[in-house]
Chain A
């Protein structure tokens, strides 16, 4: 039982390049999330998906797009990477919808550096 799997684990981009971060969960959860974690800051929500085909902006959505491909997969795309997007990105899932006391299950992150 893998839980939440993220790929790639590491990535280096040049400013202006694009890339997609992949995330898949095998826990049959409806809700999925993308967070970023920066030094000296708490985890911040980028986007949320309550179910297949639905997405909502979080606290810091600018510069990102997402796709909920099916119940298992939720991808995050950077169309034109900027140095400010250098961060560690975490995908998470939860059994209940956002706002319910369902704990988040996190993947092990993608460490992205934009030069």
Chain B
């Protein structure tokens, strides 16, 4: 059974204090890994797709990386508006596809 584990569950940062969120996975046949941002009372918003180990993608203060077992979402010099829950999802399988979501990391950036 595919498993996606995100850590930590919650993270509090001071504004400007860089850190990383982790998404570790155990799946059969990785086809892609997605990162989403979810604000309170809203639906998840797509950030990145990563396809293979070694791949990196950046958007403003966010940088996502992928290895064979995990992905990191690096947040550089975060601002209060970066506060949200970040979700990781893994697409796996060949023929019968499975998209498995992690439980998310709730990030709070304190001014």
CB distance from B89 to the nearest CB of A (A): 8
In this assembly, does B8 line the interface, its C-beta being within 8 Å of a C-beta of chain A? no
Interface size on B, residues (CB 8 A): 24
* Set B31, B36, B44, B100: member contacting A101, Cβ < 8 A: B31
Instruction: Determine the main DSSP class of B at the interface with A.
Output: strand
Name the B residues within 8 Å of A90 (CB-CB).
43-44
CA–CA, A109 and B107, complex, Å: 21
Q: Digit string of B32-69 for contact with A (CB within 8 Å is 1, else 0)?
A: 10101000011111100101000000000000000000
Q: Which residues of B does A touch, CB under 8 Å?
A: 4, 31-32, 34, 36, 41-46, 49, 51, 87, 89, 91, 93, 97, 99-104
Can you sample 6 A-B contacts with CB below 8 Å? A42-B4, A43-B44, A43-B89, A44-B101, A101-B32, A105-B46
